[in-house]
Amino acid sequence: MLAILHPDTALDSEAYRQTMHFLENLPGVSVRVHEVQGAKQRLTEVYLLGDTKSLDKDEIEALPAVERAIRISDDYRILGRHKDDRRQSGFTYNGVTFDQSNLNIFAGLCAVDVPEHVEQMMQALEDNGQVCTRMGAYKPRTNPYSFQGHGKGCLPWVFEKAGKHGIKVIAMEITHESHIEEIDHCLEQLGRPTGVMVQVGTRNTQNFELLKAIGRQSTYPVLLKRGFGITLNESLNAAEYLASEGNANVIFCLRGMKTEAGQPHRNMVDFAHVPAVKRLTRMPVCVDPSHSVGSRERAPDGVLDVMHATAQGVIAGANMVLVDFHPKPEKALVDGPQALLMEELPAYLEDIQLCHDTWTKRQQIYNRLKESAKA
Ligand code: PEP
Ligand code: MN
């Protein structure tokens, strides 16, 4: 059971004290308080865990600080979408809103290499009205002798350039909890010219200690990639680890599944799960067509497979696109063969906008059908 308190209930008020006294003394029930900062107000959610079947919803709703109570299932307690659950989805970070209706594009370098390429990328983004990007500094590599990313050494100049070009959010994978501190320290020293969305890669989806460490901070939102060889339920539970530690500002990213059946693509594109994740949880959903498709193969219609896969995700309602670009893919240190080119950026953005508008129109068609069935 989840008890949602009246907005802005003061933690030192009599109503709060009485309510918590009642809840904390329920036999066999433990209480966990979760704070949610909405755009306009602060919400306190009280999770009642354990033996909650016999609890009377009306009785909980009658407590002085409780606005309403929701019966929640065991799965994805915080991030999930439960019956009669009207809680908000999404969040705003550094002036950019992420929710289940809108769309943000994170085009950028798979891995930071030289300042000139980062500069060219960010200039192109600024020229095309973009305020988000991806920049890998810590790279998880299959081969220990491959380039591992520049690590914290590149952070100062990457963040400075981002600030110069009006980039507000950089998706950046971390592979160890100490990287959060490195990012935070660098941003603080520079006066926070930009923001970071911490990315958990597919190889770390079930690195529970890393998830708990990231979940314990709420300065940075999190982009969690689906595990490449586990069920959707297992990956959604991994996202819940972040929320259970206190950080519910999580975006869930589909990036394809590792199976021979996916060939000739690098991974089996799984973007049909976009609506499934939105139905099961309140997380905004991201698609990563670059790591799903993994090449610049082109269909006879002249459109790259990466672009077709992007369209499939966005037309199904994806809320974020994470995509590899590079000014000189032949010089890229990681994943050059799948990178899109600077000159492809405007057309790609136009295609994505078309697909997002089409998703809106598709909803209208089916909502009309629902209305006429009611009449
Ligand atoms: C990446 O986005 O750079 C990456 C390594 O992706 P994934 O974890 O999905 O393989
Ligand atoms: Mn990559």
Measured from the Cα of 226, ligand 1's closest atom is: 9
User: How large is the C-alpha radius of gyration of the chain?
Assistant: 22
Question: What 3-state DSSP class applies to 297?
Answer: coil
- Ligand 1 centroid to Cα of residue 346, in Å, is 24
3-state DSSP helix/strand/coil percent for the chain, to nearest 5?
40, 20, 40
- The predicted pLDDT at position 51 comes to 86
Lookup result for tokens 């591992």: 148
**Percentage of the chain lying above the pLDDT 90 cut:** 89
| Model pTM score | 0.94
d(CA 306, CA 340): 9
* For ligand 1, atom 6: residue with the closest CA: 201
Q: Residue 91: is its pLDDT beyond 90?
A: yes
Q: Which residues surround ligand 2, an ion (CB under 5 A)?
A: 110, 335
Length of the chain in terms of residues written? 375
- The predicted pLDDT at position 246 comes to 93
* For ligand 1, atom 9: residue with the closest CA: 202
If one residue of 110, 142, 148, 170 were mutated to test the ligand 1 pocket, choosing by the most ligand atoms within 8 A of its CB, it would be 110
- Ligand 1 centroid to Cα of residue 121, in Å, is 19
pLDDT, tens digit, 9 for 90 and up, residues 239-292: 999 999 999 999 999 999 999 999 999 999 999 999 999 999 999 999 999 999
The phi and psi torsions of 50 (rounded to 5 degrees) equal 105, -130
Measured from the Cα of 225, ligand 1's closest atom is: 9
Sign of the CA dihedral 8, 49, 275, 341?
A: positive
Where do the H-state alpha helices sit in 62-204? 115-127, 155-164, 178-190
User: Which ligand has the shortest distance to the CA of 338?
Assistant: 2
Side-chain-side CA neighbours of 226 within 13 Å: the count stands at 28
Lookup result for tokens 């507000």: 168
The edge-to-edge listing of strands for the beta sheet with 66-70 is 29-37, 42-50, 2-5, 66-70
| CA nearest to 224, candidates 81, 340, 320, 295 | 320
